[in-house]
Amino acid sequence: MADFLLGANQLCWAARHSGKRFSEPDIAAFRTPYDAIVGAGEALHPEVELPAWKGGRAKQSVACNLLRRFRKHADAVLLFIRDPAVPFTNNVAERAVRMPKVKQKISGCFRTVEGADNFCVIRSCLDTLRKQGHGMLEVLQRAFAGNLIQPAA
């Protein structure tokens, strides 16, 4: 599955950089091997069933649970193929959350909700300006001088 998804990501990356979009039949063609891989995995890791006299649900293996999620959320997993605005990974979101979490771990917590809000606003603005190509030193120097750079909307 990892090889398939990485290969699909490379094809999508090449298509985006050449300015092309996949047609509906092309998108559907990605679903066929995806379903085949999930089906092969399900054959190797079938669901465990409880005896009829026992109530509740049977504990499933990690592989079985992952395959179930792959099957249930296939459209979401493959959304990066259909929509060029959807990234292959969520690394950008994880990086955005990393600094507040590190600050919270180091100091134990924020003293007030207002302090946490202020920290998040400042980090959000700095992160946005960094993504727009501004240097952090220049941004901070201008902020302290009262000559703010406004993030582009």
How far is it, in rounded angstroms, from Cα 142 to Cα 131?
17
51 sits in the region (left: phi over 0; alpha: psi -120 to 50; else beta) called: beta
pLDDT in 10s for each residue of the chain, 153 residues: 999 999 999 999 998 889 888 888 988 999 999 999 999 999 999 988 887 777 788 898 999 999 999 999 999 999 999 888 888 887 776 777 777 777 777 777 778 888 888 887 888 888 888 888 888 888 888 888 888 777 666
Q: How far is CA 23 from the centre of its chain?
A: 24
How far is it, in rounded angstroms, from Cα 44 to Cα 38?
10
- Can you list the positions of beta strands (E) in the chain? none
How far is it, in rounded angstroms, from Cα 17 to Cα 145?
40
